[in-house]
Structure formats: C-alpha cells, structure tokens
Amino acid sequence: MAQEDNKNNVEEKKQEYKELKGMGFFKKLKYSILNIEKYPEMATEGLGKALSYIAKLIVALAIILSIWMVYQTNQMIREGTNYLENEFPDFSYNDGILTVNSEEAIQIDNEQFGRIIIDTKTDSEETINQYRESINEYGVGVLVLKNRVELKNMNMIGEVSYNYKESLESMNLTQFNKQDVVNYVKDGQINTLYFSIFITLFIYNFSMYFINTLWYAVIIGIVGYFTMWVLKMRMRYVAVFNMAVYALTLSTILNILYLIINILFNFTIEYFSIMYVTVATIYLLAAIFILKSDLIKKQAEVMKIVEAQQIVKKELEDREREKQKEENPEEKDQEPKDKNKKKKEENKGNLKGDEPEGSNA
C-alpha cells in the first residue's frame, strides 16, 4: 500500500511538471500571484524562461508609460505651438543646431508640463547643471539647449535626452524656422514624429525598468538565499533568483496600476519603491517557508513509508517461514523430537553429575 501511494505521488509530480513546462504567460502570471507554492517548480524551467516572463511584464509597463508620455508630448506641442505663434521669439534650426533669437534664457512654469527652460546660447556645463537643478526642484520640466532637449518626468528615472540631429535626420529634417514648425503641427505632419518619439521612449523605458527589475531580483534573491541558509536548505542561487523574478510579478502589476492612477488622477505614493520591494520579498519568503514545510512533510512521509516497508518485509518473511513449514512437515515433526532428545541428554548428564565419588568401589 505504501509503495502504491509513493508511486501515485511520483506520477502526480510528473504530471505537475508537464503542466508547468507547457504553461503560457498568463498561467504563470496566475501562479506567481495565487500559487506561490509553484515557485520552485517554475524555477526549474531555467533562467531564460524566468527572464522571458518578466520581460513580457515590463513590455506592458513600458507601452503604457510610453503612450502616456507621447500624449503629454502632444499636449505640450499643441499648447507650445500657440505660444510659439503668438508670443515666442523667432528661431531657426540648421544641421543639428537650434538658435533662438533671445539674449537671455527663457523660463516658463506650466502646471501641466513643469518648468521649461530655453537657452540656445550657453555651452557652460555649470550653467546647464544649474538649469537641471532648477527643473529637479520643480519636479518636472524641459530643458531646451542648442543641440538637444532634455525631459524630466515624475514617472521617469532620471532624464531623457534627445539629440536634434540624430532624432530629426531620420525624418529628413535638416533645417526649419518658426513658421515651418507652426505649419508642420497644424497640418498634422507631426504624427510621424510622435511615432519616432514613442519608439524611442519605449526602448528607453523598457531598458531602464528591465535593468531595475533585475537589480531588485538580485537583491531579493540574496535575501532568499540567506534565508535558505538559515533554514538549512540547499538550493543554487540561480534557482532562488528565478523564484525572486516570479515573486516580482505582483509588484510589477502594482507598478503598472500605480502609473495608470498617477496618470489619470495625479496621485503619488512617496514610498512606493519600498512597498514594491517589500511585497516581492514577502512573496519569496512565503514560497521558501512553504517549500521548507513541504520538505518536512515529505521527510515524515518517507519515514512512514520506510516503517511500512519494514513491517511488510517482516510479514512476508513470517509468511515464507510458515509456508516452508507447511511444505516440509517432517522438519516440523523432527523439531519437537530433537528438542525431547536434547532434553533427555541434559537430564542424563545432570544425573551423572549427582553420583557420589567412589560409588563404584
């Protein structure tokens, strides 16, 4: 019976492994949030599968963020076009260099787009750093220089910089002036620019979030590996790292939801990054403790199986002995005779030992 139960358990494990091996992205997504006991099995699929899984999640996050940033850019360009046409000084662009006809830097504070600083005269890194600090203090903004534009957004890590020449040459734009820009926006030709901006933002956002997610996975994996060492469990770090990647699922989804809420309602959470890491760490530690509990249960089951096998083995030996006795009745009859003979010899020896010395004299 014990052997049959053990065989059934092995078959169940094989079936579970086949299901995990063939599972798609959405099933892994479900298991990563609701079935954390599956982490060890999913980790056995290898590092490549884990990285492919988290990359797909980051793609969704990068698309949402890039679309929003393009939308913001569109709003900024439309409002900026009206400002350019009516209030902004003349400017021109020629072969990668933007020139604004203004002797002093232009600063515009906008509630939606932040602080916009325009200075196409300076080459001083010290002055440029001061502009950056001013934008950082404001929180969001745009810095327009003669050869590039720098964007800072609350949803971005650091700043994004666009070189005019690299960005505009792909659209065959080598020179234009103020009136050309106004006409370009109003005629709807700017849609090709939006697509280029989206691709650039997507690559940037995906790269930054993917690298950061892997960095978080490394840190959480170290915590998990140390926990396993304390619990006296042996597992390679790469397997713990894979589990940490899956543990980051809920945190990444919460990050996507947070971005959407922030976009729609301008709602911010000051310590969101701490919550991001904490949730993932709790998931990984929970999976480790479940694994430890399962190992203890399996050890107890193995001990029961061993004991049961010993009992079955003893019963089989007793049955075999009884069977041999039934098949050889002479041995069965001979055994008591041998015992009686042995007893008589012992009694006879005892009688001889009781005779007094010199009795034969």
Choice between 80 and 143, residue whose per-residue pLDDT is larger: 143
Looking at the structure, do residues 71 and 195 belong to the same domain, yes or no?
A: yes
Looking at the structure, do residues 44 and 14 belong to the same domain, yes or no?
A: yes
Position 264 confidence tier, pLDDT thresholds 50, 70, 90: confident
Average confidence (pLDDT) over 337-355: 53
Greatest mean pLDDT among 71-75, 187-191, 304-308, 350-354 lies in 71-75
Residue 344 located in a structural domain:
no
Residue 136 reports pLDDT greater than 70: yes
Choice between 278 and 23, residue whose per-residue pLDDT is larger: 278
66: number of Cβ within 10 Å? 20
pLDDT tens digits along 224-234: 999 989 888 88
Question: Residues 304, 310, 316, CA angle at the centre, nearest 5°?
Answer: 135
Residue 345 located in a structural domain:
no
Average confidence (pLDDT) over 198-222: 92
Looking at the structure, do residues 148 and 178 belong to the same domain, yes or no?
A: yes
Looking at the structure, do residues 181 and 73 belong to the same domain, yes or no?
A: yes
CA distance 205 to 67: 11
Looking at the structure, do residues 265 and 172 belong to the same domain, yes or no?
A: no
Q: Is 311 helix (H, G, I), strand (E, B) or coil?
A: helix
Looking at the structure, do residues 191 and 223 belong to the same domain, yes or no?
A: no
Question: Considering only CA atoms, which of 35, 3, 4 is closest in space to residue 19?
Answer: 35
Average confidence (pLDDT) over 323-334: 62
Say what the pTM is.
0.60
Q: What pLDDT, on a 0 to 100 scale, did the predictor assign at position 320? A: 75
Position 71 confidence tier, pLDDT thresholds 50, 70, 90: confident
2: number of Cβ within 10 Å? 15
Looking at the structure, do residues 9 and 56 belong to the same domain, yes or no?
A: yes
Q: How are beta strands 114-118 and 141-144 bridged, if at all?
A: parallel
Residue 314 located in a structural domain:
no
Looking at the structure, do residues 68 and 143 belong to the same domain, yes or no?
A: yes
Max Cα–Cα distance, the chain, nearest Å: 157
End-to-end CA distance of the chain: 75
Q: Which of 187, 202, 217 is the last residue of a domain?
A: 202
Residue 148 located in a structural domain:
yes
Residue 34 located in a structural domain:
yes
Residue 337 has which token pair?
A: 């005779």
Which residues form the domain of 84?
64-202
Residue 150 reports pLDDT greater than 60: yes
Q: What pLDDT, on a 0 to 100 scale, did the predictor assign at position 214? A: 93
User: Is residue 155 classed exposed, middle or buried when 0-12, 13-18 and 19+ CB atoms within 10 A define those classes?
Assistant: middle
- Could you tell me the strand order of the sheet in which 91-94 lies? 97-100, 91-94, 175-177
Residue 59 reports pLDDT greater than 60: yes
Residue 350 located in a structural domain:
no
CA distance 184 to 197: 16
Burial 181-215 (b: 16+ CB within 10 A, else e): bbebbeeeebeebeeebbebbbebbbebbbeebbe
Residue 357 reports pLDDT greater than 80: no
- Total domains in the chain come to 2
